[in-house]
Amino acid sequence: MSLRIGAVVVDCHYPEPVARFWAAALDWVISHAEDPEWVVEPAAGTREDCVVPDLLFIKVPDGRAGKNRLHFDLRPEDQALEIKRLEALGATRVDIGQGDQPWVVMADPEGNVFCVQDAHSPEVRAAWLERYESYQLHDA
């Protein structure tokens, strides 16, 4: 029996701005846009389509209390450029006591934290791409 994660659920007061932020941040599409649920997923035909879980933003009355138990780590090719882009989309830098680290902690428009990692070395990225493309060819 094969099992896959269908969605990662994110509780929010206002799903629309959070879903719009993540759709723009990930370059994904909003496939369902009606309160109380907004769905963000990879565009059809992309590498991520039917591989990674959708993001389901659910309207809830209670706010986030304390540290996120689950958060996203983004790994762009250019960390500084990506941070500027995410800030333009509405993200903010936050200090959660991380100290001096190679990653930057940010928060989405509703305060959900996520990290922007530094880029993989060219060698690690090349090895990852080789494995990924090999899997895609084998899977097709």
CATH number where 119 lies? 3.10.180.10
Query: 102 and 128: one domain?
Result: yes
Specify the higher pLDDT residue, 41 or 70: 41
pTM: 0.84
Which residues lie below 8 Å from residue 24, measured CB to CB, with a gap of 6+? 89
Specify the higher pLDDT residue, 113 or 1: 113
Residue 102: give the domain boundaries: 70-140
Total domains, the chain: 2
Query: 40 and 78: one domain?
Result: no
Q: Where among 15, 35, 61 does a domain terminate? A: 61
CA distance 129 to 48: 14
User: Which pLDDT belongs to residue 135?
Assistant: 59
Alpha carbon distances (Å) from 34 to 38, 39, 44, 97: 6, 9, 20, 36
Query: Is the confidence at residue 138, as pLDDT, over 60?
Result: no
Specify the higher pLDDT residue, 1 or 34: 34
pLDDT digits 0-9 by tens, 43-86? 998 888 888 899 999 999 987 777 777 899 999 989 999 999 99
Query: Is the confidence at residue 140, as pLDDT, over 60?
Result: no
Least trusted range by pLDDT, from 1-5, 40-44, 74-78: 1-5
Query: Is the confidence at residue 22, as pLDDT, over 80?
Result: yes
Query: 2 and 52: one domain?
Result: yes
Q: Where among 61, 80, 101 does a domain terminate? A: 61
The answer to whether the CB of 104 falls within 8 A of the CB of 93 is yes
